[in-house]
Structure 1
Amino acid sequence: MPMDVMNEPMISDTGVRAAPHRARVRSRRFAVAGALSIALALSGNQVFAQERQVPAAQADVMLSYAPLVKETAPAVVNVYAERMVQRRMSPLFSDPFFGRFFGEQMPGRSERQTSLGSGVIVTGDGMVITNNHVIAGADDVRVALADGREFPCTVLLKDDRYDLAVLKIEADEEFPTVPIGNSDDVEVGDISLAIGNPFAVGQTVTSGIISGRARNAVNDGEFGFFLQTDAAINPGNSGGALLNMKGELIGINTAIFSSGGGSNGVGFAIPANMVKVFLKAAEDGETRFQRPYVGATFGPVTSDIAEALGLKAARGAIISATRPGSPAEKAGLETGSVIIAVNDIPVEHPDALLYRLTVAGIGNTADLTVERDGQVSHVALPLDLAPEDPPRDTRVIAGSSPFSGLTVENVSPRVAEELRLSGIDDGVVVSDIEQGSTAQRIGFARGDVIVAVNDAPIDTTATLEDVAGEKPGYWRLSINRGGRMINQIFR
């Protein structure tokens, strides 16, 4: 079934239905069980049950979420992202005759588009968490509060790999907030509420339960650790809040699996612990979100691998390679070893490992539980940024060569991490391209690694800049694009 990433809020109602009383015996059974009533306290102080219990009496089922919603809904906002887009124009419409008929609606003209999503205010001074895909490419971002007021916003930090963005409301006042909870405390079967603006109908609340944890392969991004809920989520809910019964944020609603674009009760949210790390990076003034550098490649543990290695279950992340001099190699991690837990929290798959290392935080040390040859050991892995060795030495290429308009950098582990260069350890990479430049017209793309020019290896940005200043009779380029070599000649 196809997966839809929500560009608008998501919501619907999941009713709780009490079974009818069939006999007096059953009524007496309910009456006795009534003494065990749930403490889903939805009062002002939000007292939360110390132990999870199943509804045992009619009175339990008739409890209301209204007090919890009143407390949290004011901090869930609508996010409006406007962008200018260029409509394609057929050569036919360049004829003035057709222009008289189509006027301002002629294809090929610029027009402003608005997308709608949701967001959650998490700090009193107006920091908002939403999805990156809600504001991607936007020229102007605004939020509308539940009371109808609108404010402009500044995008502080965004990352398409994790599909998160942090906005700052441009206003000097105190805003309502939702506290961020601990998503590791969430269990399958817990009640959850989703708040957002589905289909632009207005703020909506839906209820359900947590259906699964550690879900991966949900979207096309690199992040693969989601909470799953059956609370109805629909287009427009993206960036909205997934709450527990304490009124805490446990996830940011992000995507649904759907055959027709509507909710089928399979929704996904980015866990709150990931949100905390991302928010801290924004508060610290970071302009790019960076995860810890391990210097190893991991693969899933299939049933065949588990059987071959004598593992009890096909779970964990198996090390397939380590980079020389990397933290993984220095810590003693070896190819063929399986990481089964991080800080005593089980690891289900490689995506879960990456998630656990990311939320552990740069500057800390992760305790890895490693299984190899039937023996279980613990390895301390320092969590640091990828090294920038060699220095990136950023240069903008000018002149009249095919490279005119390129911004290039030397490849280092950090640059490779930022630009997602898999299996590339050195060389010169394109990090940006000037609009309308020669390089753009030729077809260069961000992430292209320039390997050679006229059969001469390009090892540094300084080398490329020197070569670009020459005037040969032709240019023979060798470029690595996503692992595929492209050879092209220009005259």
Structure 2
Amino acid sequence: MKKVTPSVVNIAVKGRIAQEQNPLLNDPFFRKFFNVPETPAEREIRAAGSGVIIDAREGLIVTNNHVVEHADEISVTLTDGRHFQAKRVGADPDTDVAIIKVPAADLVAIPLGDSDKLEVGDYVVAIGNPFGIGQTVTQGIVSALRRTGLGIKGYEDFIQTDAPINPGNSGGALVSLRGELVGINTAIVGPSGGNVGIGFAIPANMIREVMDQLVRYGEVRRGRLGIAVQDLTAELSDAMGLPSHQSGAVVANVEAGSAAERAGLKSGDVITSVDNTPVRSASALRNKIGLLRVGDTAELAVTRGGKSMVIRATVATPVQKQFQGGQVNPLLDGATFGPVTGDTSIRGVEVISVQAGRKAARAGLRKGDIITSVNQKAVAGPDEFAEQAKASPKRLLLALIRDGHAHFLVVQ
């Protein structure tokens, strides 16, 4: 461990975030009538986390996006006591990975391991800065692999471990006994927010692919195939005449004019592997495609009508069709809408941004909301949403999904 602990750093951040307020407090008449004092629209935050040096020559450090997301200042402290101000190189909220850089010499980087070689029961070590008390090392085993569907982030393929991970460990290292980085600690499940032996780490292979794009472009330039998929269940396997042990993802829908349609994919196809990597679920397929770059060609092993075939599809640039809410309905002023960027199995429109103090914010809309219907009429995308929103200028009843939960919101 002496060789790898110098690679793990402490990160302290300072920043400001918007402060949620009751919409009535934005009404000048209400404030004046009830003599409500002025309250700041933002509040200062301070937080601590961890990071891992992955390129000593360039001073590159990988951490969680949620550690530095709202940071105006990022301070890095090395194990030898040196302090540096870091700058953000790039971040990807969908995988919760961020890269920062420090102007330091004599750094020690940790080698990246192959997380695909991990097996349940392997011993691992978690290194980080729990509760901001300083660098701490804990040991455990790999409890499970390829954990998905937790609703933590858009792209999930987590390593689960019982190595104690507490607040402040976010962005720290999950290390194999060979001294290789196999994951970045990112989340815990616990009733009180503390460790109960269920922690999750982003696998090193996902970090490697995301990191390459963050360093080159400052962002992940994801492409898309244009398909909606679902898990291949035992019931579906039986109905399709497939072996009960068959795993894969079923193509439920192919978008017209999409890369998938051009490649020849059809509804009902079962995708069993991508570039010779087995596909075990719809989430696994989405993770694999989501890490390909625009222009990459994916080799898909497909079962159709009981016959196996290989289809090559070139990942295309996502269609961006964003618009300002105020252009279609004054009630939506201050919000920007666009296609759903996360779970492509959800049909609707996504709230891309909301400006504080504007009508949309006062009505309760938030960034990341996915609106699935307007006035009880389902909307499949931006065009249908705009059409329905224009038709009701005085009041909108929106059905939306927020943080994985369904809500109704009245905007008037």
Instruction: Please report the TM-score for the alignment, with normalisation by the length of structure 1.
Output: 0.66
- The residue that corresponds to 1:437 in the other structure is 358
Matching residue within 179, 182, 185 for 2:111: 179
Give, in angstroms, the shift of residue 285 of structure 1: 2.6
Q: For residues 219 and 486 of structure 1, what CA distance do their matches in structure 2 show?
A: 20
Any conservation in 2 of the 1:450–1:478 contact (CA below 8 Å)? Answer: no
- The residue that corresponds to 1:45 in the other structure is none
Give, in angstroms, the shift of residue 204 of structure 1: 1.5
Q: For residues 209 and 485 of structure 1, what CA distance do their matches in structure 2 show?
A: 39
- The residue that corresponds to 2:222 in the other structure is 291
- The residue that corresponds to 2:72 in the other structure is 139
Superposed, 1:29-428 pairs within 5 Å as: 69-84=1-16, 112-124=44-56, 125-169=58-102, 171=103, 173-287=105-219, 289-309=220-240, 310-313=242-245, 315-388=247-320, 392=322, 402=331, 404-406=333-335, 408=336, 411=338, 415-417=339-341, 422-424=346-348
Give, in angstroms, the shift of residue 416 of structure 1: 3.7
**Counterparts in 2 of 1:328 and 1:480: CA distance versus 1, 3 Å:** farther
Give, in angstroms, the shift of residue 130 of structure 1: 1.2
Give, in angstroms, the shift of residue 281 of structure 1: 1.8
Any conservation in 2 of the 1:316–1:340 contact (CA below 8 Å)? Answer: yes
Any conservation in 1 of the 2:154–2:343 contact (CA below 8 Å)? Answer: no
Give, in angstroms, the shift of residue 340 of structure 1: 1.6
Q: For residues 424 and 243 of structure 1, what CA distance do their matches in structure 2 show?
A: 40
Q: Can you list the C-alpha shifts for 1:110-166, whole angstroms capped at 9, x where unaligned?
A: 764322211111122222211122233333322211122222222332333212222
Q: For residues 384 and 87 of structure 1, what CA distance do their matches in structure 2 show?
A: 38
SS at match of 2:2: helix
Whichever residue aligns with residue 157 of structure 1, its letter is G
**Counterparts in 2 of 1:200 and 1:439: CA distance versus 1, 3 Å:** closer
Whichever residue aligns with residue 10 of structure 2, its letter is N
Whichever residue aligns with residue 82 of structure 2, its letter is R
Any conservation in 2 of the 1:478–1:485 contact (CA below 8 Å)? Answer: no
Give, in angstroms, the shift of residue 349 of structure 1: 1.0
Q: For residues 387 and 84 of structure 1, what CA distance do their matches in structure 2 show?
A: 32
**Counterparts in 2 of 1:117 and 1:345: CA distance versus 1, 3 Å:** same
Q: For residues 112 and 387 of structure 1, what CA distance do their matches in structure 2 show?
A: 36
Any conservation in 2 of the 1:244–1:250 contact (CA below 8 Å)? Answer: yes
Give the greater-gyration-radius structure (CA). 1
Whichever residue aligns with residue 118 of structure 1, its letter is S
RMSD, matched Cα? 3.8
**Counterparts in 2 of 1:206 and 1:87: CA distance versus 1, 3 Å:** same
- The residue that corresponds to 2:394 in the other structure is 476
Superposed, 1:21-32 pairs within 5 Å as: none
Any conservation in 2 of the 1:212–1:228 contact (CA below 8 Å)? Answer: yes
Q: For residues 344 and 238 of structure 2, what CA distance do their matches in structure 1 show?
A: 33
**Counterparts in 2 of 1:160 and 1:395: CA distance versus 1, 3 Å:** same
**Counterparts in 2 of 1:434 and 1:199: CA distance versus 1, 3 Å:** closer
SS at match of 1:435: coil
Give, in angstroms, the shift of residue 253 of structure 1: 0.9
Any conservation in 2 of the 1:88–1:108 contact (CA below 8 Å)? Answer: no
Give, in angstroms, the shift of residue 196 of structure 1: 0.8
Q: For residues 111 and 294 of structure 1, what CA distance do their matches in structure 2 show?
A: 41
Give, in angstroms, the shift of residue 202 of structure 1: 1.9
Whichever residue aligns with residue 232 of structure 2, its letter is V
Equivalent pairs counted in the alignment come to 380
Question: Identity, % of aligned pairs?
Answer: 32
**Counterparts in 2 of 1:330 and 1:441: CA distance versus 1, 3 Å:** same
**Counterparts in 2 of 1:369 and 1:84: CA distance versus 1, 3 Å:** same
Any conservation in 2 of the 1:78–1:117 contact (CA below 8 Å)? Answer: yes
Any conservation in 2 of the 1:336–1:372 contact (CA below 8 Å)? Answer: yes
Give, in angstroms, the shift of residue 296 of structure 1: 0.6
Instruction: Please report the TM-score for the alignment, with normalisation by the length of structure 2.
Output: 0.78
SS at match of 1:476: coil
- The residue that corresponds to 1:34 in the other structure is none
SS at match of 1:224: coil
Q: For residues 488 and 213 of structure 1, what CA distance do their matches in structure 2 show?
A: 42
Whichever residue aligns with residue 193 of structure 1, its letter is V
- The residue that corresponds to 2:36 in the other structure is none
Any conservation in 2 of the 1:448–1:480 contact (CA below 8 Å)? Answer: no
**Counterparts in 2 of 1:137 and 1:420: CA distance versus 1, 3 Å:** farther
**Counterparts in 2 of 1:80 and 1:421: CA distance versus 1, 3 Å:** farther
- The residue that corresponds to 2:34 in the other structure is none
- Which residues of structure 1 form unaligned runs of 5+? 1-68, 95-106, 453-457, 468-473
Q: For residues 355 and 137 of structure 2, what CA distance do their matches in structure 1 show?
A: 45
Q: Can you list the C-alpha shifts for 1:14-48, whole angstroms capped at 9, x where unaligned?
A: xxxxxxxxxxxxxxxxxxxxxxxxxxxxxxxxxxx
**Counterparts in 2 of 1:153 and 1:82: CA distance versus 1, 3 Å:** same
Q: For residues 169 and 382 of structure 2, what CA distance do their matches in structure 1 show?
A: 47
